[in-house]
Structure 1
Amino acid sequence: MKKPRVLLADDHQIVIEGLKSLLKDNFEVVGSVGDGRALVDQAATLHPDVIVADISMPQLNGIEAARQIKKTDKNIKIVFLTMHLDATYAANAFEAGASGFVLKHSAPSELATAIHEAMKGQTYVSPLIAGDLIRTYRQGDSPEMDLFKKISPRQREILQLLAEGKSGKEIASVLNISPRTVEFHKYKMMEQLNIKTSAELVQYAVKHGIISI
């Protein structure tokens, strides 16, 4: 029986090596990347069956990367492996098209189970946050989260890069747009979110999981 092809994404090499060792018997690890932008590129190149990705990654976080990947290839399954216990992260992950959400301190067998469930077209959530996730869906989005969801994907990309300390010129180079376009999106975003300073913008990015400290 052919082994499922897996692409790994985590910005900690020790985690990548551990995952390779954990998965090698039952899965074919076809590659690994350390940031979300590289993940999008490699997903398009390698066409894995499943991606195992962290949420907090530089340049483009895992959830935004998942959104981009799912737009171009709906068949790729995505399982998040993360430290984030907050069910809001899980809700956002599934909204972005994820098939699984596994906590990093779960038993190793959970990840394999999540991958197998994803391959069958099912979803998997770590039992530790399953109850919280259900409550999150029942409560619905807060007015602040509704506002956050109105930010465009491009604005969220720029928000992350700004929060990581990149200049307008550096962001323009990464995204292949003009510095003027970067500034336009920045100030439009600040207006939408009623944010006055760049420091508040960074705080907002941390609060909403765009970046982590």
Structure 2
Amino acid sequence: MSRPAVPKANTEALLREGTPMTRPRVLLAEDHPIVAQGVRSLLAADFDLLEVAEDGHAMVEAAHRLLPDVVVADISMPSLNGIEALAAMRRDGLWIPVVFLSMHREVAYVRRALEAGAAGYVLKQAATTELLQGVRSALEGGTFVSPAIAGQVFEVMKRGPATSSDPVGGLTLRQLEILRMLAEGLSAKEIAAKTDISPRTVEFHKYQMMEALHAKRSVDLVRFAIRHGIAER
């Protein structure tokens, strides 16, 4: 899987100015303070953490302003999720590598992240052993996926990009997120609180998914989510 080369603008600027080379600079996008503190501790020995962005919009703004060497980001963030933020960076011409650190092990999420141009996908439960490896791989121009899901993910990626004819590929990232939480038994009100949208918007997405997937009942959506690896049984 090929990705555009990461520009060396930061390094070249430092050399021109005669500034001593520093450790790789990391921007973290994570809306949970406890998780952010844990990541800070993991990176402290080898990297300089520049800032913590608490949503996707802040991630894009900070990436423009700070020009970090790598971004470590969650996927599920309020306002603008991590994959949408990555897409915005790419549209703006920012080819800074982004490593996702996520609780979602479902293939649908990993596939969307990699197709958007992610340099890595590390499961949060494996962060203590895999995050540093993922960040170093990204800085070297590689792509890292947590070994626990890598085989399944790359097997799916061999089939080519998701298309609208693929029932999962036809769902937006927001719909995937809502579908996963519906399958976990959360109500529209609970989902709204977690995603920073209104319960009415949650119900609208649910209706759209039922129409697209030809589902007659909510339980049909749950079965679809489990069958396609969007939620666990």
TM-score, normalising length: structure 1: 0.69
Deviations 1:156-193 (A, max 9, x none): 8xx9xx974746xxxxxxxxxxxxxxxxxxx9999878
Q: CA deviation at 1:146?
A: 4.1
Distance in 1 of aligned mates of 2:74 and 2:30: 5
CA pair 148-85 structure 1, distance change in 2 beyond 3 A: closer
Write the distance in 1 (CA, Å) between the matches of 2:119 and 2:163. 27
Deviation at 1:114, TM superposition (A): 0.9
- Partner in structure 1 of residue 47 of structure 2: 27
Q: In structure 2, what residue type is equivalent to 1:52? A: V
Structure 2 distance, partners of 1:145, 1:30, is: 42
> Where does the alignment leave 5 or more consecutive residues of structure 1 unmatched?
168-186, 209-213
* Number of equivalent positions: 188
In the TM superposition, residue 2 of structure 1 has moved relative to its aligned partner by 2.1
Listed as ranges, the gaps of 5+ residues in structure 2 are: 1-20, 179-187, 199-206, 229-233
In the alignment, the residues of structure 2 paired with residue 188 and residue 110 of structure 1 have an alpha-carbon distance, to the nearest angstrom, of 37
Superposition RMSD in Å = 3.8
How much has 1:136 moved relative to structure 2? Answer: 1.3
Q: Give the match for residue 119 of structure 1.
A: 139
Spell out, residue by residue over 1:178-212, the C-alpha distance to the aligned partner (whole angstroms, 9 max, x if none): xxxxxxxxx9999878899xx9xxx9xx999xxxx
Q: How does 1:121-200 map to 2 (within 5 A)?
A: 121-140=141-160, 146=166, 164=192, 166=197
**Runs of 4+ with deviation above 3 angstroms:** 138-153, 162-167, 187-196
Could you tell me how far 1:78 is from its partner in structure 2? 0.1
Paired-residue identity, %? 43
Match of 1:72 in 2: 92
How do 1:47-126 and structure 2 match up within 5 A?
Answer: 47-126=67-146
Higher Rg of the two aligned structures:
2
CA displacement 1:24-60 (0-9 Å, x = unmatched)? 1211111001211211221122111111011111111
3-state SS of 2:158 partner:
helix
TM-score normalised to structure 2 length: 0.64
Q: By how many angstroms is 1:106 displaced?
A: 1.0
Cα shift at 1:72: 1.4
